[in-house]
Structure 1
């Protein structure tokens, strides 16, 4: 599947690998958190350097913004900002954001303005990307000078949303194998299920 070049940090494994897992996740979805942690333990070691499927399978993390959660746009913005300023730290931050998602659920977020939520997200990122990235992160997720111009990562956010819409992705998590929905894949899959799936799909 295609991917805008600025989103390359969202790729796990060799970008040139012929097989692709497109994994649509939302940062305030508990099932996306479960899938992310299982991917980290099972799939990531298999497809990265030295793994059994190194050079054969890549995974692309696709952002699936769920607008019925008020903070969903904001948490996806910070992921894009981290990918921009510290691409090598993206996956570490991805896991931290997933595992800290309860702070950004509907009720906790209801008592904060978007500006305060963005500030809280920057604080979540700084232990991973470094204090020296504070200003760069803040600049990327701050509103532009025009009243309705979005932020510096809005264009990338639009890309991810348009990609989901044109591929009729509705729920998170959703996984595609080589461009087709693999409905059998579950967020609860562990080593046994992922191993069996990959062995059946990667034949050479």
Structure 2
């Protein structure tokens, strides 16, 4: 698993030292990614957490999968990376909140908003999750820099996630990788039964 230090909060389930790695590429404005997020929360995290069947054996890494054909995709992923930077323990909680309200960031609802308005809306959502004490920090992380084309303070993290997806040939969301190899059989429609069957054949420790 390759993960730059600033993105350690993207390990959303299991111990960071677990030998197996499940990486899941998700886009916050993709309905199928939202289904997968529910599976992560309701199936995977209990399996890999304290007293779970695979505790200490598997970790789950959230991979930001920006889908540029959705006009707000860059903005929602920026917001999640800002939360990862300012309040690491709340990254997954914010992600779940964003998936729950993803319809607000679909193409038509955001079509009459400016980029500044979208970022402000996301900063407000993030503040609702992490607490008002971080409101100024979150807003600052999502503020455009003085350079005309410099992006925001988490642009470098966003670039890393996009480059990682590109070099691994990831095109759609959700996509999963098991121990560094794309696992095309994994689907957002999987129930607990399919996940249990998958791990029964894959976990070797």
Q: Same fold (TM over 0.5)?
A: yes
Q: How does 1:46-195 map to 2 (within 5 A)?
A: 46-195=47-196
Partner of 1:136, secondary structure, is: helix
Distance in 1 (CA, whole Å) between partners of 2:10 and 2:191 is 21
Partner of 1:37, secondary structure, is: helix
Identify the residue that residue 3 of structure 1 maps to in structure 2.
Answer: 3
- In 1, are the aligned partners of 2:127 and 2:138 still within 8 Å (CA)? no
Distance in 2 (CA, whole Å) between partners of 1:50 and 1:128 is 27
Distance in 1 (CA, whole Å) between partners of 2:64 and 2:175 is 11
Number of equivalences: 204
Give how far 1:112 is off.
0.2
> CA-to-partner distance for each residue in 1:101-123, whole Å, 9 max, x for gaps?
00000001101000000111111
Give how far 1:130 is off.
0.4
User: What TM-score comes out, normalization by structure 1 length?
Assistant: 0.98
Identify the residue that residue 39 of structure 1 maps to in structure 2.
Answer: 40
- In 1, are the aligned partners of 2:80 and 2:91 still within 8 Å (CA)? yes
Distance in 2 (CA, whole Å) between partners of 1:168 and 1:128 is 33
> CA-to-partner distance for each residue in 1:120-143, whole Å, 9 max, x for gaps?
111111221001111000100110
Distance in 2 (CA, whole Å) between partners of 1:88 and 1:180 is 28
Q: Are positions 1:22 and 2:23 aligned together?
A: yes
User: What TM-score comes out, normalization by structure 2 length?
Assistant: 0.98
Distance in 1 (CA, whole Å) between partners of 2:125 and 2:140 is 16
Partner of 1:60, secondary structure, is: strand
Q: Which structure 2 segments of 5+ residues have no match?
A: none
- In 1, are the aligned partners of 2:64 and 2:77 still within 8 Å (CA)? yes
